[in-house]
Structure 1
Amino acid sequence: MQVDYETSLIIDAIEEFGGEARLVGGCVRDFILQRDIHDIDLATDLLPGQVIEALKLCNIKAIPTGLKHGTITAVLNQRSFEITTLRHDVKCDGRHAKVEFTNNWQADASRRDFTFNALYADKHGSVYDYFSGIEDLKVRRLNFIGNAEDRIKEDYLRILRAFRFHAKICVGNLSDEILNVCKKHSHMIQNLSGERIRDEIFKLLECDDPAPTLKSMQKSGVLQKIIPKEVKCEILSSTLLFGADALVKLALLLRTTENDKLSLGEYVNKFLRLSNKQKKKLLFLLSNNIGTELSEKEQKKYISLFGRELYCDLVRICGVESGANVDEYISFAEVFDIPKFPLSGDDLINIGYQPGKSLGKSLELLRQHWEDNSYSLTKEELVLCAKSLL
């Protein structure tokens, strides 16, 4: 495993202070899978205060982002690196863990969730695998470290993480043991924070084809703890959804229910603690439809009305539902520059219109006339048209 320049400088700083540092977790796993590496996390046997001192001695910015859990963020050349002191759990309550620091690498590995997430690599590329994680990666199999039920009872979010990593990495089904344990403890999901649940569900939905995993979640009763109505998971296997964001897939999933979709959307919004922007987008995608046989004039109208992003998202959803090929509509939207309506309310007031609701209605009529003429009318032509309406 090749260590880049900034990572090497950070490891050197820790080593110069007498410590040891290794890359850990997702970056090592993704390197073995030959996938793009986005974030670099490191583990060290130095205590947090020592890490801060070691970094400062080498003029590397150190931010105490998680001192309670032993995490320091190093910032170097506008890149951030999380450095965490080796730990072992003292007490877990299913949501939080009380930890103590250690200098034992295997003890640190043993507190992690899955075998392929407990891999370490030093700056020379040597990989340390304490629980056969590499073997599980080779066959794309998810295994907990130790007893699955014990690990889940330490942190019930691991129920959702098991399904998320299954969708991201694995082939075949989760083992019956894992599915049964997830089912047994699924009622504990409601005790987790909405933000933690949302993050896991969104990461799962962002996988290329989350449908098989969602079916397993549904079969084991886990999905119903989040979406309490019957939904058709197989709809998310459509290739039209490759690259679509998690909210689009969530909206499409909720649209498959026979119940009141907006009420279900409101429930899911509150349960997952969506931001106002996310809520607005979800409810828009649940309450609108668009045809899949559109003229160029209609395409321009909807792109202008909804905005490029929402238009493309809605076209994808309706394309999946109808089975239509909507690639050409999305391609057109990507190159179409939405023109700015050249008229304002002040322009109408200047020619004699009175402020109020009638002004807004007149402005909307003029906008529709402008759209009907393929956005070709100038401001002067629109003003003449407005005068004729007085």
Structure 2
Amino acid sequence: MDRLILPAAEWRDREGLDRLVEVLGTARFVGGSVRDTLLGIPVSDLDLATPLPPERVLELLKAAQIRAVPTGLAHGTITAVLPSGPVEVTTLRRDVSTDGRRATVAFTDDWREDAARRDFTINALYAEPRTGAIFDYFGGLADLEARHVRFIGDPIQRIAEDHLRILRFFRFLARFGDRPDAQGLDACTVRAKDLMALSRERIRDELLKLLVARDAVRVVELMLARGIFAPVLPEIVSATALAHLVAREAVAGIAPNPIRRFAALIPRDADLADQIAARLKLSKAERRRLVAAVRAPDHAPKPLAYRIGVESAVDQLLLSDRPIDEVPAIHAWQPPQLPLTGGALVARGLAKGPDVARALRAVEDRWVAENFPGEERVAALADEVVAQALAATSKE
């Protein structure tokens, strides 16, 4: 691939970005924004690299009245908060020492030295903001064209510096790669047990990103074949259910969800799912969703969605072998509210207390079974249930 100029892109016209670049004086776009623009895909995060020390970056931003947040000062990262959103500004750096989980860095003014500490060649591309000129120190442009995911330098050494790079290798392969670098793949295989030293939060974050990538199934199969999951998630032993789910998502026109896809990788056991969710420190909402997803659907689509929520009902149906046309039928459905209150039952003669709650549940069960009829039918159901309750009470 010849020397390229960064194509025009919507993000390059973000409000405040030109002024930020002007204030810094010397800076280049780096990483994902350059890579993704060259691939013609949307850019989410925006990063600038600069040879300026972080303290000088803070001074310049303060003088220019640009809000600056020292989000990672020890590592040289300042977040500039623009009207159009945050931009991370990071001083060029080199690693002084690493232990597989974190690095001690020193700042530098050498662009190549900064590029050399990055993980993959496709992530070490820089672009000059004004001209769009691209700087490529390690063959990233050629790798990007070939969809080749390759470590910078010796893969074993790069993994020793940060064990998370094992999972990042597979995530980038699932998102961008047509083929893995053989040397990198072998290194990840040999060093898979290094993942045990990582926090489960870091493992969780990378895995969930991987699962929604375009080629997740093939890459998960490769990871299983290479024993990557065994040290930290031994419950994952097959990608068959994931492949089944991905195919059904496509037919139903449902966007992938990382928790739903993770549910496809673990046994269909709610207790075990809860244990795994706790181990990975999923949020409370994610934990509930995962536990619900591994259960088999036990109602028709709308009653199911009413009982457990539309989101979880869609998960269960997609993960099952139920007819796929059941999914679109509820995906955009808004479950109705029962048009009846406990007060309406008291007005019909029930005494306040547990009898009202039981009667309300009985009406609701019949209302759901009859496919959510309107107020007139609900009133009739209430009359019937109250009459039955009062008759039972009189017999006592």
When normalised by structure 2's length, the TM-score is 0.87
Report the counterpart of residue 187 of structure 2 in structure 1: 181
Matches of 2:275 and 2:383 in 1, distance apart?
Answer: 49
Residue type of the partner of 1:244? P
- Give the AA of the match of 2:307: L
8 Å CA contact 2:29, 2:49 repeated in 1: yes
1:239 paired to 2:247? yes
Q: Which runs of 4+ in 1 moved over 6 A?
A: none
Aligned twin of 1:330: 327
1:140 and 2:147 are equivalent in the alignment = yes
**Aligned 1:269-284 pairs, distance under 5 A:** 269-284=277-292
Aligned mates of 2:285, 2:194 — CA distance in 1: 28
Aligned to 1:294: none
Does the alignment pair 1:312 with 2:320?
no
Question: Aligned partners of 1:235 and 1:114: how far apart in 2?
Answer: 31
Aligned to 2:102: 96
Q: What are the Cα deviations for residues 126-150 of structure 1, in whole angstroms up to 9, with x where unaligned?
A: 1110000010011111111100000
Which of 9, 13, 20 is matched with 1:10 structurally? 20
Which of 70, 74, 88 pairs up with 1:64?
Answer: 70
CA distance in 2, matches of 1:304, 1:315: 14
Aligned letter for 1:4?
D
**Distance in 2 (alpha carbons) for counterparts of 1:382 and 1:78:** 55
Shift of 1:349: 4.1
Counterpart position of 1:387 = 386
Q: Is it true that 1:376 corresponds to 2:383 in the alignment?
A: no
Count of aligned pairs: 370
- CA-to-partner distance for each residue in 1:344-379, whole Å, 9 max, x for gaps? 334434544456655433222100222233322416
Q: Aligned partners of 1:386 and 1:141: how far apart in 2?
A: 67
* Structure 1 segment 43-122 matched on structure 2, within 5 A: 43-122=49-128
Q: What does residue 35 of structure 2 align with?
A: 29
Distance 2:236 2:282 in 1: 21
2:215 alignment partner, SS class:
coil
> Residue 287 of structure 1: SS of its match in structure 2?
coil
Residues 297, 304 of structure 2: 8 Å contact kept: no
Partners of 1:267 and 1:66 in 2: how far apart? 33
Of the structure 1 ranges 142-151 and 209-218, higher mean CA displacement relative to structure 2 is found in 209-218
- 1:287 aligned to which of 295, 314, 317: 295
- TM-score after normalising by structure 1: 0.89
Distance 1:157 1:271 in 2: 17
**Amino acid across the alignment from 1:388:** A
Unaligned runs of 5+ in 2: 1-5, 391-396
C-alpha contact (below 8 Å) 1:73/1:83 kept by paired residues: yes
For structure 1, list consecutive stretches of 5 or more residues without a partner in the other structure.
Answer: 292-297
Instruction: Answer yes or no: is 1:225 the counterpart of 2:231.
Output: yes
Matched to 1:306, the amino acid is: I
Q: Aligned-pair distance for 1:179? A: 2.5
CA shift digits 1:323-347 (9 cap, x unpaired)? x651x32222134332111223344
1:128 alignment partner in structure 2: 135
Partner of 1:268: 276
Q: Secondary structure at the match of 1:224?
A: coil
Separation (CA, whole Å) in 1 of partners of 2:93 and 2:185: 29
- When residues 154 and 347 of structure 1 are mapped into structure 2, their CA distance, relative to the original with a 3 A threshold, is same
Residue identity opposite 1:245 in structure 2: N
Q: Deviations along 1:111-164, whole A, 9 cap, x unmatched? A: 000000011111121111000001001111111110000000001011111111
8 Å Cα contact 2:348-2:383 kept in structure 1: no
Q: Give the secondary-structure state (helix, strand or coil) at the position aligned to 1:42.
A: strand
| Farther-moved stretch of structure 1 (129-138 vs 380-389) | 380-389
Report the CA distance between 1:386 and its aligned residue: 3.6
How far apart are 1:230 and its partner, in Å?
Answer: 5.3
Secondary structure of the structure 1 residue equivalent to 2:264: helix
The alignment's C-alpha RMSD in Å is 2.0
Distance in 2 between residues matched to 1:357 and 1:176, nearest whole Å: 67
2:303, 2:368 within 8 Å by CA — same for their partners in 1?
A: yes
Instruction: Percent identity, please.
Output: 34
SS in 1 for 2:88: strand
* Corresponding residue SS for 2:29: strand
Q: Is the 8 A contact 1:48 1:84 kept in 2?
A: yes
Does the 8 Å CA contact 1:43/1:85 hold for their aligned counterparts?
A: yes
